[in-house]
Amino acid sequence: MKKVSVGKHVVVLILAAFWIIMFALNGNFRMGDNLASILREASSTGIAALGMTFIIIMGDFDLSIGSMLAFLGIVMAGAMNSAGMVPSLILVCIAGVICGLLNGVIVSYFNVPAFITTLGTYYSFRALAYILNDANTIMCTEPAFLQIGNGSIGIIPIPFIMLLVLAVIGAVILNRTVYGRNVRALGNSMKACSISGINTKRVKTLAFMLMGFCTAAATMIVTARQACASPDVATNFHFDAITVVVLGGTKLTGGEGSIFNTVIAAILYASVANCLNLYHVDAKWQRICMGIILLLAFSFDFIQRTVGRLRENSQKKAAQSA
């Protein structure tokens, strides 16, 4: 029987504790509509975080996804108003993969660090979003499309169903395929991967393409929820996605991560934001709270290592005294 490490799933315990406390303290929190709102809110960030999980496991970041989302939204909304819903959804997926391919090629084949590459495309994609429609918002009125962001199947929001489907696919790729093992290996040691014959350039490029596809899926949800595409949207989207991934226990040093924990972390992150709204916390203070969560998430790996060393030292002292 496989042993389950509690430390690897601590985010599940944190979410459970948070929900138990909020269920006890706030009647509005436990209402069905509010819980559905949390799941809906978690979906777009969660889907982007799925792709980001692969990137961070490799030891890289993608800072461009917020601007990419704005650019893809303008592309999709413009196509929808002229060609219809289905062609525009296909187009946004293709465009997202191409954007990811651009990032991946620059990082992998031109050896430009991912931080520099995606910072550059962060500005480029945002500029394109402004240029394409002269910095104007494009309205989306197609009822079927709006259901992507606002509809439900039973009591489960459609965006959350999309998150779950993509999470299952992502987990299978990461845990059950050669490519997933190569992603983890790349995060552990690039040199060892090269020596063992793994095509590291292709692995990296495919991961960025997957990130582009996930951003396209998130674009559908965000645009449908807002019923418009704006070049100003998702300015902090990359920070939210990275925070969710790290909060889920994916190591910043690479080599280790969990799709399941990323989904749970997305729900926790949305739950905290929802709680702040229920208590009417000012938007500026909300950003401070989210910043603190970001710092705690980034410090979590360090805290775990420190606690582990202290426990190991105490065990050694106990053994010596015995």
CB 161 within 8 A of CB 254: no
Helix (H) / strand (E) containing 131 = helix 114-132
Position 6 scores a pLDDT of 52
Torsion angle of the four alpha carbons 250, 256, 261, 265, in this order, in degrees rounded to the nearest 10:
0
Residue 139, φ and ψ in degrees, nearest 5: -80, 145
Q: What mean pLDDT is reported for the chain?
A: 92
Half-sphere exposure (Cβ direction) of 31: Cα atoms closer than 13 Å: 10
What is the mean predicted confidence (pLDDT) over 207-225? 98
pLDDT in tens, 219-269: 999 999 999 999 999 998 999 999 999 999 898 888 889 999 999 999 999
Does residue 242 or residue 283 have the better pLDDT?
A: 242
CA-to-CA dists, residue 141 to 92, 232, 319, angstroms: 17, 19, 70
pTM across the whole model = 0.91
- pLDDT tier at 5 (50, 70, 90 boundaries)? low
- pLDDT tier at 2 (50, 70, 90 boundaries)? very low
Q: Tell me which DSSP letter residue 177 carries.
A: S
Residue 177: CB atoms within 10 Å:
11
Q: Which two tokens stand for residue 150?
A: 């606002």
Residue by residue, DSSP assigns 187-256 as HH-HHHHHHTT--HHHHHHHHHHHHHHHHHHHHHHHHHHHTEE-TT--TTHHHHHHHHHHHTT--TTSS-
pLDDT in tens, 113-164: 999 999 999 999 999 999 998 999 999 999 999 999 999 998 999 999 999 9
Judged by average pLDDT, the poorest of 87-91, 196-200, 213-217 is: 196-200
Q: Which two tokens stand for residue 1?
A: 């029987």
Is residue 64's pLDDT more than 50? yes
Is residue 4's pLDDT more than 70? no
d(CA 114, CA 241): 16
Question: In the chain, what's the furthest Cα-to-Cα distance?
Answer: 79
Q: Which two tokens stand for residue 137?
A: 């918002």
Does residue 177 or residue 300 have the better pLDDT?
A: 177
pLDDT in tens, 31-41: 999 999 999 99
Is residue 273's pLDDT more than 70? yes
d(CA 220, CA 282): 28
